Amino acid sequence: MAAGCASAPRPSAPAAPPAKPPGIPSAIEAEGVPPIPAELGARLAQYHAARGASFEDFGPDGSILVSTRFGDTSQLHVVPFPGGRREQVTFFPEPLGGGVFVPGSSDVLFSMGRGGDENYQIYRLDRKTGKTALLTDGKSRNGMGPLSRKGDRLVFSSNRRNGRDTDLYLLDLKTGASELVLEGKGQFWSATDWSADDSKLLLLRYVSVNESHPAVLDLASKKALALPFPAGRAAVGPIRFDPAGAVVFASDEGGEFRRLHRRPAASAGTAVPLGPAIDWDVSDVEIHGDRTAFTTNEDGLSRLRILEGRAVREVELPVGVVSGLRFSPDGKRLGFTLSRADAPSDAYTYEPEGGQLARWTFSEAGGLDPAAFVVPERISYPSFDGREIPCYVYRPRRTGKAPVVISIHGGPEGQSRPFFSPTTQFWVNELGLAVAVPNVRGSTGYGKTYVALDNGMKREDAVRDIGALLDWIAKDPRLDASRVAVHGGSYGGYMVLASLVHFPDRIKAGVDLVGIANWISFLEKTSAYRVDLRRVEYGDERIPEMRAFLERASPLDRADRIRSALMVVHGRNDPRVPFFEAEQIAGKVRALGRPVWTVYADNEGHGFARKENRDYLSAATALFFQECLIR
């Protein structure tokens, strides 16, 4: 199937490492990848010059804080008014993981890792002096939680105690001292909100995508009181305190989807549903006074509603995906990020009193005509058991049968939604590829039954959903079933490799990004703080029956069935899927005489975050499709 796919010759035991070809970033090691044609790189650079902006916080002077990229990595910027100039306030070589203002000052708190290791640290930027102070230990993994209502303390999670458990700490922003308030003890806890008087924390213990447990932590006694559910198990979240001390939360108890509810914090009684009955998941909730803003994920698109008493108002927005809801301190504005399929994301605010929607950023499209960007078609196709699988299809405007890239999301507890992707738009508009983006079983957003359909020994049923998509492609007269590639990252990378194993005669090429090749080595080598969570989803390799199944389901053990061209991409600092997974599969397939391109990065982890690395990877991927799929 890979005949005609060019692969650069491999050197035979050179006396010294060969000089790196021009155009390859210093931290990138590429093997099997031919030189990138200048015209391909130049055209792709226009697409990747597009940059989005995400809303982060409200400033003390009426401004907002946004995250966007002007250089190589995403940094924080202040925007003074809608459409105003973005003033960059952080300047680091590493990408930032979001930020917030410290109440009562212009200082900014933010988190940042190093080289993709995901050992995030928390920092405080004094914007008057320009000095940045490290607030955590500099070596463990730390996650920013919410600020107290008063703004004097930050709750954060950390595995500093033993490298495995995730504990909760309070950080005093005046003294810089940290206090342990809850030990994880093998459980994964996060803090979501503070009570109105800052005496309590609202917590959520995550077990799996189908099970989470809320609790209220009294900070004086350091005792956590669980909020039980009659059924004993439910998926809960998002979850917030209201001003009266009651808990407002989304839960799928008693149904397929996460509906909005309210209950007294210490009550074991039945929660009261809030708002309309909507057969889609509530994905975000924010509360200020008697006003509750919430979004629902409706077949991948967002709807924003405001609840005041019993009255519910739907906010008219451009079609897209809404994230990061946050009320201003006075409650007069609601900030959020809006992402669309045909435009980079931007920061918006909405004023509930007057119904005014304001767009604060106008993100650039790299000099390209936004009207040329393609909006996907929503389709569904039947799988082996008759279940309909939702899928987005991006179609080129060219005539004739188009080659197809099947792009598979990670997770697996994730969902492909119609976000703007410059890479997808390049594939469609410049290469003439159709891009099919399925939400195979196991995806979130379609109910709790659907998300559990791939658990444990049902893992390969999701791969069968890709086979059903191949059947659907073969019946579409606008698509070329003889030229199909698969592309995916993380769990999606596993799906790529599994698809190449299961359908070797129906797929010409596959791109595996930070994917899992062997379930046993993945579970044994992933970071200690993740292993128990992954065993819940994938199965416990310590149980003999499950271990035998995981061995059978591992693409590495059946790599001899791969006849397609393969591209393997990985960051050497990946804490989630160890770099060993890439080395194993690339080495074994090469040893079988199959064409393999590899792109490895010394300064990346679970995905490529630096622009120069992403640009090279995108160009190499486009060339791979040209050589192995289109020609």
What is the 3-state secondary structure of 324-381? Answer: EEEECCCCCCEEEEEEECCEEEEEEEEECCCCEEEECCCCCCCCCCHHHCCCCEEEEE
Number of structural domains, the chain?
A: 1
Write down the number of H helices and E strands in the chain: 10, 37
- Cα 145 to Cα 123: distance, rounded to the nearest angstrom: 13
**Cα-atom radius of gyration of the chain, to the nearest Å?**
24
DSSP 8-state code for residue 505: T
pTM of the shown model: 0.89
Cα angle at 119 between 114 and 125, to 5 degrees? 65
State which amino acid sits at residue 103: P
Q: 585 lies in a domain?
A: yes
List the strands of the sheet with 211-218, edge to edge: 188-194, 200-208, 211-218, 223-226
Q: 513 lies in a domain?
A: yes
Q: 481 lies in a domain?
A: yes
Q: Which helix (H) or strand (E) holds 443?
A: none
Per-residue confidence (pLDDT) for residue 1, from 0 to 100 = 47
**Other Cβ atoms within 10 Å of 89 Cβ, number:** 17
Per-residue confidence (pLDDT) for residue 18, from 0 to 100 = 55
Question: Which CATH number does the domain housing residue 492 bear?
Answer: 3.40.50.1820
Assigned token pair, 281: 């998941």
| Rounded-to-10 torsion of CA 489, 495, 501, 506 | -90
Mean pLDDT, 10 residues at a time, over the chain (631 residues)?
Answer: 54 53 85 92 88 93 92 89 94 88 91 81 92 92 92 92 87 93 87 94 87 91 84 84 92 91 75 88 95 95 93 93 95 95 94 95 87 94 96 93 95 87 94 97 94 88 97 97 96 95 96 92 77 72 84 92 96 89 94 94 88 91 95 79
Per-residue confidence (pLDDT) for residue 479, from 0 to 100 = 97
- Cα 421 to Cα 262: distance, rounded to the nearest angstrom: 37
Q: Which helix (H) or strand (E) holds 209?
A: none
Q: 85 lies in a domain?
A: no
544-553 and 459-475 are packed helices; what angle lies between their axes, rounded to 10 degrees? 30
Q: 599 lies in a domain?
A: yes
Q: 251 lies in a domain?
A: no
Q: Is 409 helix (H, G, I), strand (E, B) or coil?
A: coil
Q: 431 lies in a domain?
A: yes
- Cα 534 to Cα 483: distance, rounded to the nearest angstrom: 34
Range of the domain at 474: 34-48+367-630
Per-residue confidence (pLDDT) for residue 269, from 0 to 100 = 62
β-sheet bridge partners, residue 297 = 281, 302
Assigned token pair, 475: 């019946």
Q: 624 lies in a domain?
A: yes
